[in-house]
């Protein structure tokens, strides 16, 4: 529907569109590798559909990794920062809050069905005027209806809410293959291991061991989306053998890494 001439900020053009009568407003464009947008929020809820490329989204709840052909849902007024891991092609949809009141109130990464992809593509090809009451309005209504049923993907790493715990695990979240053990991390937070585990479980909903495994899987998806080989990823994450990494990945996602990055690619017509 709209292709901004300058994508320095995904809100471009939304200044006027915030009060635009259409329930859904669409944008599309390319963003270069390494572009970062600091913490910000939108009155309209937002769906990033990553056609190609990948990005990370940081919120108060933690970090989300969004690989190709997935999407990230950002509810209304949720503060988030975005970093593009490689040159990315995206479709953005911005929704009036009242139009998506039945959708989740928390950010999440979702898998778009082939139908949803086609609906979004068709919506983008419609004129902006039609989004108010014409054919695009009807397509937008179906998109919202379909979004209520999309599966949420396990691509979220919850971060502790307290500053000292967050600081203690920040480096491990960035490089989860490092050999730091629970005792070292607890000392960084100036806590005993037992106290650290108790606070950590309360703040993240995960044991430290489970959180560390999730950090490895999140980083694996990020690195694999950048084109790193399975063996290299396994080595950087501290696995003794690539087969052990593949088994862990399959247990978490139900498929091997190669299958994970091929199953959602659009079929050629």
The predicted model gives 55-77 an average pLDDT of 93
Same domain, 149 and 176: no
Q: Is the pLDDT assigned to residue 196 strictly greater than 90? A: yes
The predicted model gives 133-140 an average pLDDT of 86
Same domain, 75 and 189: no
Same domain, 55 and 127: yes
Question: Token digits for 178?
Answer: 């490092």
Last residue within a domain, chosen from 130, 153, 176: 153
The label of the residue with tokens 């929020």 reads: 41
Residue 68 lies in a domain: yes
pLDDT band, residue 6 (cuts 50/70/90): very low
What pLDDT is stored for residue 211 in this prediction?
A: 96
Q: Is the pLDDT assigned to residue 3 strictly greater than 60? A: no
Decide: 40 and 80 in contact? Cβ < 8 Å: yes
The predicted model gives 236-246 an average pLDDT of 94
Residue-averaged pLDDT of the chain: 87
The predicted model gives 168-188 an average pLDDT of 93
Q: 82-116, pLDDT tens digit by residue?
A: 999 999 999 999 999 999 999 989 999 999 999 99
Q: What is the DSSP pairing of strand 55-59 with strand 62-66? A: antiparallel
Torsion 114-117-123-125 (CA) sign: negative
Q: Is the pLDDT assigned to residue 38 strictly greater than 50? A: yes
Supply the CATH number for residue 109's domain.
2.60.120.280
The predicted model gives 135-145 an average pLDDT of 91
d(CA 38, CA 48): 16
DSSP state of 84: E
Last residue within a domain, chosen from 129, 153, 177: 153
Closest CA to 219 of 235, 203, 200: 235
* Residues, the chain: 269
Same domain, 93 and 126: yes
What pLDDT is stored for residue 7 in this prediction?
A: 35
The predicted model gives 24-49 an average pLDDT of 91
Express as a percent the part of the chain with pLDDT over 90. 70
pLDDT band, residue 265 (cuts 50/70/90): low
Same domain, 136 and 182: no
Question: Token digits for 116?
Answer: 């949803």
What pLDDT is stored for residue 18 in this prediction?
A: 58
Residue 81 lies in a domain: yes
d(CA 257, CA 30): 26
d(CA 225, CA 220): 8
The label of the residue with tokens 């990823």 reads: 233
Torsion 193-198-202-206 (CA) sign: positive
Within 10 angstroms of residue 77's Cβ, the number of other Cβ atoms is: 11
Same domain, 162 and 236: yes
Supply the CATH number for residue 204's domain.
1.10.10.60
Closest CA to 224 of 236, 207, 210: 236
Q: Going along 115-237, which residue ranges are E strands?
A: 152-153, 156-158
Decide: 234 and 242 in contact? Cβ < 8 Å: yes
Residue 268 lies in a domain: no
DSSP state of 151: P
| Domain residue limits at 78 | 14-153
Decide: 182 and 211 in contact? Cβ < 8 Å: no
Same domain, 65 and 168: no
Same domain, 92 and 127: yes
Q: Going along 155-236, which residue ranges are E strands?
A: 156-158
Domain count, the chain: 2
Alpha carbon dihedral 105, 108, 111, 114, in 10-degree steps, equals 40
- Biggest alpha carbon distance in the chain? 62
Closest CA to 164 of 184, 185, 182: 185
């Amino acid at each position: 529907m709209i292709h901004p001439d300058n994508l320095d900020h995904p809100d471009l053009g939304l200044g006027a569109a915030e009060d635009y009568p259409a329930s859904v407003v669409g944008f599309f464009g390319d963003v270069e590798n390494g572009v970062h947008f600091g913490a910000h929020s939108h009155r309209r809820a937002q769906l990033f559909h990553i056609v190609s490329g990948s990005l990370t989204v940081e919120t108060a709840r933690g970090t989300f990794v969004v690989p190709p052909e997935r999407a990230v849902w950002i509810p209304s007024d949720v503060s988030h920062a975005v970093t593009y891991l490689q040159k990315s092609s995206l479709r953005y949809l911005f929704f009036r809050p009242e139009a998506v009141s039945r959708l989740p109130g928390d950010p999440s990464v979702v898998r778009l069905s082939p139908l949803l992809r086609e609906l979004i593509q068709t919506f983008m090809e419609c004129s902006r005027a039609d989004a108010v009451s014409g054919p695009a309005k009807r397509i937008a209504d179906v998109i919202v209806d379909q979004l209520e049923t999309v599966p949420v993907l396990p691509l979220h790493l919850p971060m502790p809410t307290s500053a000292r715990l967050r600081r203690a695990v920040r480096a491990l979240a960035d490089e989860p293959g490092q050999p730091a053990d629970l005792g070292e991390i607890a000392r960084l937070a100036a806590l005993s291991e037992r106290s650290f585990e108790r606070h950590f479980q309360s703040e993240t909903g995960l044991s430290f061991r489970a959180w560390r495994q999730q950090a490895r899987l999140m980083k694996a998806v990020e690195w694999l989306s950048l084109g790193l080989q399975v063996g290299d990823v396994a080595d950087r994450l501290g696995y003794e053998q690539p087969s052990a990494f593949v088994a862990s990945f399959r247990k978490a996602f139900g498929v091997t890494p190669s299958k994970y990055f091929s199953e959602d690619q659009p079929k050629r017509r």
